[in-house]
Structure formats: structure tokens, C-alpha cells
Chain A
Amino acid sequence: MSMTFLSEANHGDTLSLDNMVVLSFLLHALILSIIFFSPSLPSPRWTFGPSYTVDLVSSPLSSVEVRSSEAISREAVSMNHRNQSMVMKKEVERGLSAPVRKTEILRKSPTGNVDTAIEGIKKRVESATNDSRPSTARGNSEINLKMRVYYSVVWSMIKEQWALPKSILPDDNLEAIVETNILRNGTVSNLTFEKRSGNRYFDESVIKAIKKADPFPPLPEWLDKRYITLGVRFHSSEL
């Protein structure tokens, strides 16, 4: 086509070469602009099999699953308490001995202490939901939120094992901070003092409390760490 055009143009017709170029350019521009600026048509999808929607932001759905897995593991423990027919027998036995010990001690607490014990239980429940909220950093605030349930179990187990006649202390505002690692299987390792109270009997009693509470429940499965580090602050009186 273009050859015919050219030969005809060479014969000195009204349609010159320049005009042809300009026209071609305009036509190209027109077509291209139509393509670019027209409303986009639905792109054709090529699907094979079932379609997956992937979200890069974590959904509420996953945290519910985490919570229920905690509940399941704890339920499993209590069910074992009744059925005695589950896997992970070793861990279940350990879990059993801790509650039995606890109820014995509670039952035998001095009668004058019933009110104190009830207060303690109330506070434990409150603290488990309120003040044992760990301090968090932005980046890990979510993990810590999910761990809150685990921390409250640890809190409760240590407190239950902390025995100390307060009237032997010189004053009522002692504080000791103990740092400990909890491994995946819940056992304690690297128990050290971050801060001593200055009173030997107080310090000995807090170490004993953690040792007696050992082992804690295994770390949650979704937590991708080999161990966690916990700082336990012991105060001699309610703050």
C-alpha cells in the first residue's frame, strides 16, 4: 500500500508525504488515547480450580483461633483430670499435681484467713484481667496481648506458691525483681535477681516461689520463640 502511495506521490499529486506522516501520527495518537483513557474493562481472569483471597493484614479470625487453642489445651488438661485417657500423659500428670497441691493448701489456710484468701482470689481474678498487663512495645504489642492469658496463668501459679510470714519483715515496702526464662516446654531456666530487696528472707522466699511453680504450661504453639524472658516483681504489700 505504502509503495503505491509513494509512487503516486512522486507523480506530483496534491497528497504530499508530509501530510501523510502527520495524518498517520494523529490517527495513532487517537487510537492510543482511546485505549489509555477509556474506562478499563474487566480484565479477564484465568482461574484454575478454587479461588483464594489472600490478605496481607492479619484478620480477627486468627486471634480467635489462638484463644480457642489455649482453651483447648486447658480443657484437655481438665478433661484428662476426669478421663485419664489422653496423649501427652507426662505433662498432664504435672498439671494434675499442681492443682491438687493448691487446693490442699487453700483448704488448710488458717480459719482467720478465710477473708484474706477470698480477697486474694478476688484480686487474683482482677489482676489477671487488669494489672498484670505487661508493658509492651509497639512492634510486639499484639503478641503480648495474646500472651496475656499465658502470663496470668504464670502469675497465678507463682503467687500460689509464695509463702512468707510477713510479720517477720522489718517493714512493709520491700521489692525484689527476679528475671527468668521460660522454655517452650514451660520449664524455668536462668533464674537471676534483677533487683534484690535487701532482706534475705524475702529474697529467698521469692526464688522458692518460682522454683515451686516450675514447670509452667508449655508456651503457646503459635508463639514462634524458643523461650520467653519474664521479669517478676515481688512486693511485700498490696500497692
Chain B
Amino acid sequence: MRKTTSFLIFLLILLWGSTACGKVYIDINSPAFQKFPVAIPEFKNIGKPGTEKNYPAWFADQLSRTLKITGFFKLISKDAFLENQDNTNLTAEEIDFSNWSSIGSDFLIKGGFSYDGSRLSVEFRLFDTIEGKLVTGKKYWGKPDEKKIMVLRFADEILMALTGKAGVFDTKIAFIGKKGNSSEVYTVNFDGSDLDRITDFNSLTLLPHWSPDGSEISFTSYKNGNPDCYIINPAKRKTRRISSFSGLNLLTSWSSNGKQALIVLSRDGNEEIYIKYLRSGKLQRLTRAHAIDVSPAWSPDGQKIAFVSNRSGSPQIFIMDSEGKKTKRLTFEGYYNSSPCWSPDGTRIAYAGSSNGQFQIFTIGENGDKLMQLTFEAGGGESPSWSPDGRYLVFSSKKNGQGRICVINSNGLSLRVLPGINGVKTYQSPSWSRHLNLY
């Protein structure tokens, strides 16, 4: 017995020894780069010669710009391209992928178009240069003025293939543009196009928030000499006043079905949180503390409400249920935490927290875990709002005293200023809409 066990042990050691000395492991934690390198050469005219207008460069530029604002792509500069720009090799069989993989471009997008005077048809192809194969390809037909829509549609295809989710190009961001003592509500597309002024009250305007279906925007205005709450339908340019108690009327969150909203009123003596039933106008009071209770935000499933209260001495974020009960404190780091906003999947809350005398954007798990600071900017960060796919946050940040609207990936990378916004002095309080089916 002892002999066999010792023999077996010997065999075991031999085996272990052999496997261990046969393979060595190395650990790589975290990728070095968090963007897909992609090259987009000019599109080729595959139709009648002489009909190309500015399309070759336009398509390449527009697609490059669209992919760039997603924050997931690094565009390889045209100067690095090795391939002869004159040839029209658009399919995997014709392309020499080593020309692209050798300049560090993991992905390649090639396109061809054909314009017959009335109809434009465009082919897009996404290639993986390392595997040397086509990932996805699409062909679109339409009028020339629909060419941007074609680009956005294919950008969605690219994102779907490489990241599992389509993009957020069909969303808008509402925000306040302020000049002197007067401010108005503006909207702009995620890619910075279509800047539009929505209100014309010529007074102080604050806190715009999109309705869940994207058809309306709520805001507070001093038009009547008191901070009253209004809702505007931007398409119809129709406004209605929904709350005008003396004191504050601040709507900061809609329910997911759009039928109720959380509103802060001070009519009962001090600032408290109420649910307002938008059709009937009925009010249901939720908080009764003597402290300041503001900035309520509904969780996506409607079960919980995050809000700001100074009941423990300084402004901190608390969570209560939708009846106003079971209040628990969420934030314990930092002496001033405010502006909570739930992520669309309901797992995290973004907020503005004090850090070194300034506000920066933080996210925290709804159970108080996984605290993460996202911004470290000299201009700070306030008023965060999530994109509908949870991949981005929009917020306001100051530069030279002026507020700017900025976007950041939800893991803190790729901070950029939202393009296309200018003309007014300072910007604040952005709010991100749902998908609006703009194209």
C-alpha cells in the first residue's frame, strides 16, 4: 500500500512538474489603449465619372467625425496611408490588408457611391485588417440630402458590430444658454449639429429636463417674477405653466411613463419633494424633514428616489423609496454632494461632488459601493446627465469663468467639449434625451 501511494505521489509530482515546466503564464491587466484604431480613406466613385461632386472627401470626413465623437475610435491620419489612393479596391479579395495593419489600423472602412443626378446610392464596408475579412457592409439609396442619414445609419452598424450596441446619434441634449441676466433653453444633437433655441422668455430660465418620450422639456422660469415651472413642446412651440406656487417650483425628474414628475416646492414652509401627477395636477408630499430637500431623481424602475438633503449637516445624497420612506444616506465621502442622476440600467448614480474646493463628476453604485471619480478638470464638473445607453455622461464645466457643455465616457475617458455650441456667453444644466428616431 505504501509503495503504491508513494509511486502515485511520484507520478503526480512528475506530471505537475512536467505541466508546470511545459507552460509559463504572463498576466496582462487592462488594455494599453481604449480606442479602436480605424482608417477611413476617401470614398470612391463607382458610378459615372464626373458626378462625384465633393462626395469622396465628404463621406470620409463625415464618417470620421461621427465615429470620433463616440470616443471609441482613433482615426488614423491620412498621411500614414500606404495604399495608392487611386485604386478602387472595395472588397476583401482585392484589398491588401497588410497596407493597413502595418500602419496600426485594426479596422478599415471603404466606401463607394454612385449618383445618377437624382438618386444617390452608397456602399459602406467595415474590414478587420488583422483577420483580413469583412465585418459588415451595407448599401443605402436615397436623395442627396439624405447622405448624412446614411452615414449615421452605418455608424450605428459599426458600433453594433464592434461594441454590441448602436450609437446615440439620434439623441439631443437640452441645456441653458445664459447672457447677462437672461437665459433660455437650447437643444443640440449629440454630434453638435442643429443648435436650436427653444424658449424666448427673456428672463432667467433654469433646470431643463426632457420628458421620457422626448416630446417635451420641463424647466423653471422667472418670467412672472417667481420661479415657476413650465413644460414646452419644442416641435409645436407650445408652453404651459404647470406649477406656480409662491417660492420654488423646481421639476427635476420625470417618471418613466411620463405621467408624473418629482417637483420641489417651498409652499409648505420649506423646500420639500412632491410627486406631481401631470394630468390631474394632484400633489403627493414625500419629505417632511426640516432640512433642505432638493434635486430628486427617480430610478428607472420607479421604485427609488435619490435626492439631496442637508439633514446631516451639509448637502449629501440620500435614497428613499417612492413613498418617501426608508430613507438611507448614499454618499459619505466629501462634504458636499449634489445633483444625483440615475444610470439607465439603474445600477449607478452620477453626481457632482466636492473635491479640493470644486465640484467634479463622480459615479457610485446604488448600494454605495464602487465610488469612482470621473473628472479631474480645473474647471470642475456639475449637473451630470446620462446618455440613454449608459455609455456617456454630459455635464457642464467652467473655463475662464464660462460654462461649457462636455461629454465623457462613463469610465472617465475621452473627455471632450460638445461641438457646435456658441453664440451665448455661458452654458449650464445639460439634460440628455432618449432615442428620438431622428433618422
Contact = CB atoms under 8 A, between A and B. Distances in A.
Contacts of B3: none
Given A105-B33, A137-B17, A132 B27 contact: yes
B26 A165 contact: no
Q: How large is the interface on B (under 10, 10 to 19, 20 to 34, 35 or more residues)?
A: 35 or more
B399 to A, nearest CB: 15
B26 A134 contact: yes
Contacts of B72: 165, 167-168
Contacts of B131: 208, 211
Interface string B1-37: 0000000000000001110111111111111111111
A160 B164 contact: no
A231 B32 contact: no
B413 A110 contact: yes
A233 B27 contact: yes
Given A140-B21, A151-B26, A233-B27, A162 B16 contact: no
Given A166-B34, A231-B24, A137 B16 contact: yes
A136 interface: yes
A233 B30 CA distance: 11
B128 to A, nearest CB: 8
B415 A112 contact: yes
A132 to B, nearest CB: 5
Nearest to B27: A233
Interface string A190-215: 00000000001100010011011000
B218 to A, nearest CB: 29
Contacts of B21: 136-137, 139-140, 144
Contacts of B22: 229
A239 B71 CA distance: 25
B165 interface: yes
Given A201-B163, A208-B130, A163 B23 contact: no
Given A159-B32, A163-B33, A231 B25 contact: yes
B101 interface: yes
Given A120-B32, A165-B35, A132 B26 contact: yes
Contacts of A108: 74, 77
B411 interface: yes
A127 B204 CA distance: 56
A162 B31 contact: yes
Nearest to B411: A167
Contacts of B77: 108
14 contacts: A108-B77, A113-B34, A161-B32, A165-B413, A166-B34, A168-B72, A168-B164, A200-B164, A230-B24, A231-B25, A232-B28, A233-B27, A234-B28, A235-B29
Given A113-B34, A155-B26, A208-B131, 9 more contacts: A101-B102, A105-B104, A110-B35, A159-B32, A165-B36, A179-B23, A212-B101, A232-B26, A233-B25
Interface of A: 97, 101, 104-105, 108-110, 112-113, 116, 120, 127, 131-132, 134-140, 144, 147, 151, 154-155, 158-168, 177, 179, 200-201, 205, 208-209, 211-212, 228-239
Interface of B: 16-18, 20-37, 71-72, 74, 77, 80, 101-104, 106, 128, 130-131, 162-165, 391, 409-411, 413-415
